[in-house]
Structure 1
Amino acid sequence: MDFYIRHTWDSLPVDHKPVKIRFSPGEDGLLMQVTAPFFNDPPAPAGPPGEPFPGLWDYEVVESFFLNSETEQYLEVEVCPYGQHLILLLNGKHNAFMQQLPLSFRANIEDSTWHGEALLPWRYFPQGINKMNSYAIHGSGAGRTYESLYPVPREDLQEGQGPDFHRLEYFQDFTLQSIMGEDWVQPESDLWDLARK
């Protein structure tokens, strides 16, 4: 299933080829494939490729959030063109109780495009995913650009408002069964058991 990020966070059209995110069945998880323009701005994070990098959202990054809107439990996945990644498990808006989990992720840059492939283990997902949103960020300083699959509608914007990717009310319908098949049953997660304790 393919998704294209065609707007900025505040519903303006992007001025480049849209970021493409594909979700498909993987081995014991959800396969997330990214094809995106490579801006090379800002420069690469200082951490080694293939490893978690805290604060990755300050770099060139593509993110997907998977939400259970009833419990407000959600998985945040961040990947970048240089191979670093960041996983956050959130129990309530902005409330990360676990992060920097390992991830099978590889990325490569070809001229002005980068490709990334991550396998998201089922244990990272909360039960009952029913909403999703995805984002892309690039640029530095005044040129920092925030893009959203499901942006804030123009009529909802407030004066002085900035981008906040945790505006859960703008996430839209999505189920893992739409990828895996209607009869698929999500495995239980030992990690999310910790959120209930």
Structure 2
Amino acid sequence: MAASKLEYEIASTWNGGVLHDLTKRARISLRADESGSCLLLEVNAFFYNDPAPPSVQAGQPCPALWEYEVVEAFFLGSSEQYLEIELCPHGQHLVLLLRGVRQCFKNELPLEFTSEITDSRWCGVAKIPLNYFPPDVSKFSAYAIHGSEPDRQYESLYPVPQHAFKQPDFHRLEYFQEIDICSLFSSWPTVNVFGQE
């Protein structure tokens, strides 16, 4: 029987510092849509409104979205193939497919994504087609980024060890942790866009 939902809370800085203010931690949940053909990625996060929103229209892909306020989810499959999803409180998104560390071969894929800002929080729901996922998805990580330099903040679900690295790098695949994403679905597609050029 399929699991109903997987839930996560980003409670650390990128290198293991604890985020003590519980109200400001970003939360992510994953579940199947009604058709069973898409993953619903739901975000509930504190809204910092820093930096200013991208100039790209809400609902559209935004290049270099990682430079803005975002919550990101990475799904790792076999042979260092992975899917990166970036979601912005203002409604922009970015979907990247990678073969090898930072080796993007497709980006700005279409994505059904809606977001809403209410007082000091924002919520968003992205509907991710299952054929966007790499073969044999088994590991996962998530991140939240906000603020402007020199005070930009990088937060991680699975941080790297303190003092191991000098700069945040969310493509350190060796620190991703296990996920049983297939448990959310009664069946998983055998065809995906990683096999297409």
Q: Do Structure 1 and Structure 2 share a fold, with TM-score over 0.5? A: yes
Among 45, 61, 64, which residue is 1:55 paired with?
A: 64
- 1:6 aligned residue: 11
Tell me, yes or no, if the aligned pair for 1:77 and 1:86 is still in contact at 8 Å.
Answer: yes
CA deviations on 1:90-118 (whole Å, 9 max, x unpaired) are: 01110010000000000010010000000
**Secondary structure, counterpart of 1:142 in structure 2:** coil
CA deviations on 1:36-91 (whole Å, 9 max, x unpaired) are: 000000010000000000000000000000001x4110000000000000000001
Q: Which letter maps to 1:13?
A: V
Among 31, 46, 58, which residue is 1:24 paired with?
A: 31
- 1:73 aligned residue: 81
Could you state the TM-score of these two structures normalised by the residue count of structure 2? 0.92
Q: Which letter maps to 1:188?
A: T
After TM superposition, what 4+ stretches of structure 1 lie above 6 angstroms from structure 2? Answer: none
Q: After alignment, is 170-179 or 142-151 more displaced?
A: 170-179
Say if 2:152 is the partner of 1:144. Answer: yes
Could you state the TM-score of these two structures normalised by the residue count of structure 1? 0.92
Q: Which structure 1 segments of 5+ residues have no match?
A: none
Tell me, yes or no, if the aligned pair for 2:8 and 2:28 is still in contact at 8 Å.
Answer: yes
Q: Which letter maps to 2:140?
A: M
In percent, how many aligned pairs have the same letter?
45
Q: Distance in 2 between matches of 1:5 and 1:188?
A: 31
- 1:186 aligned residue: 188
Q: Which letter maps to 2:120?
A: S
Say if 2:178 is the partner of 1:173. Answer: yes
Q: Which letter maps to 1:194?
A: Q
Q: Which letter maps to 2:45?
A: A
Q: Which structure 2 segments of 5+ residues have no match?
A: 1-5
**Secondary structure, counterpart of 2:76 in structure 1:** strand
Tell me, yes or no, if the aligned pair for 2:38 and 2:129 is still in contact at 8 Å.
Answer: yes
What count of residue pairs does the alignment treat as equivalent?
188
- 1:137, distance to aligned residue in structure 2 (A): 0.1
Among 86, 101, 104, which residue is 2:109 paired with?
A: 101
RMSD, matched Cα: 1.2
- 1:127, distance to aligned residue in structure 2 (A): 1.4
Tell me, yes or no, if the aligned pair for 1:89 and 1:98 is still in contact at 8 Å.
Answer: yes
Tell me, yes or no, if the aligned pair for 1:126 and 1:189 is still in contact at 8 Å.
Answer: no
